[in-house]
Amino acid sequence: MNFYEIVNKRRAYRSLLPFEVKEEMIKELVELASLAPSCFNKQPWRFVFVYGKENLEKIFSTLSEANAWAKKASMVIAVFSKPDLDCIVKGREYYLFDTGMATANIILRLTEMGLVAHPIAGFNEEEAKNVLNIPQEYRIITLIIVGRHNENYTEVLSEKDANSEKNRPPRKNFNEIAFLNTL
């Protein structure tokens, strides 16, 4: 797959089947994340890879009701960081932006592997910090829900979720997000 094919294949599916988590895969994902660029090479990104029935159940307990579909994941990656792990240039904090670039590497590699990697914001951050033993001063930015795509999904999904399962949610037009030389 070339890069366009990987990016185009990536979809935030909600219908998941299990897969076998291997430590080798985790090592590869961490290496890819670590190769991302960051302000003065600060590498502010941190990840907890959660897998195995008992560990998963604890992190599943922190999900919002709307994310019940995520409980079929075989792995959850908690992405966390804090402002002082990265540059702060005249009020511009770089930790979220740089962690986003590193997280993209993980999501795209999982996509290339044929898996679904669906980042979510709907979880109880305080509870998740407790479960994962992440100190208070950090922010858990997202949980990446990882599974194999169930193409013949049988889950009970809302009409909206079922729709976004079938068709990619619409994207903004070129002119809404891009400008040539000046606004």
Which parts of 120-149 interact with a copy of itself (CB under 8 A)?
121-122, 125, 131-135, 139, 141-142
- Smallest separation (angstroms) from a copy of itself to the CB of 171: 4
Provide the 8-state DSSP code for 177.
Answer: H
- To the nearest whole angstrom, how small is the minimum distance from the Cβ of residue 41 to a copy of itself? 4
**Whole-number minimum distance, CB 140 to a copy of itself, in Å?**
8
Interface with a copy of itself, residue 35, by CB under 8 A = yes
Q: Which is nearer to a copy of itself, 28 or 155 (CB)?
A: 28
Is residue 4 involved in binding a copy of itself (CB under 8 A)?
A: yes
Q: Return the residues of window 37-76 that contact a copy of itself according to CB under 8 A.
A: 37, 39, 41, 43, 45-52, 55
From the list 137, 147, 135, 149, the residue with the least C-alpha distance to 48 is: 135
Counting contacts by CB under 8 A, is residue 104 touching a copy of itself? yes
Q: Give 112's contacts (C-beta < 8 A, 6+ positions apart).
A: 1, 6, 9
Q: Is 142 helix (H, G, I), strand (E, B) or coil?
A: strand
Task: Return the SS3 of 4.
Answer: helix
**Cα within 13 Å of Cα(145), Cβ side:** 25
* Tokens standing for residue 159: 């009409």
Token output for 76: 């959850």
Contact present, 163 and 30 (Cβ < 8 Å): no
User: With respect to a copy of itself, which residue has the nearer C-beta, 73 or 141?
Assistant: 141
CB of 60 to a copy of itself, least distance (A): 13
3 binds a copy of itself (CB under 8 A): yes
Q: Which residue has the tokens 């979809």?
A: 11
CB 135 to a copy of itself: min, Å? 8
Which helix (H) or strand (E) element contains residue 49?
A: strand 46-51
Evaluate the CA torsion angle 57, 101, 121, 176 in order and state its sign.
negative
Measured from the CB of residue 150, what is the shortest distance to a copy of itself in angstroms?
A: 19
Nearer to a copy of itself (CB atom), residue 37 or residue 152: 37
Q: Closer CB to a copy of itself, residue 31 or residue 84? A: 31
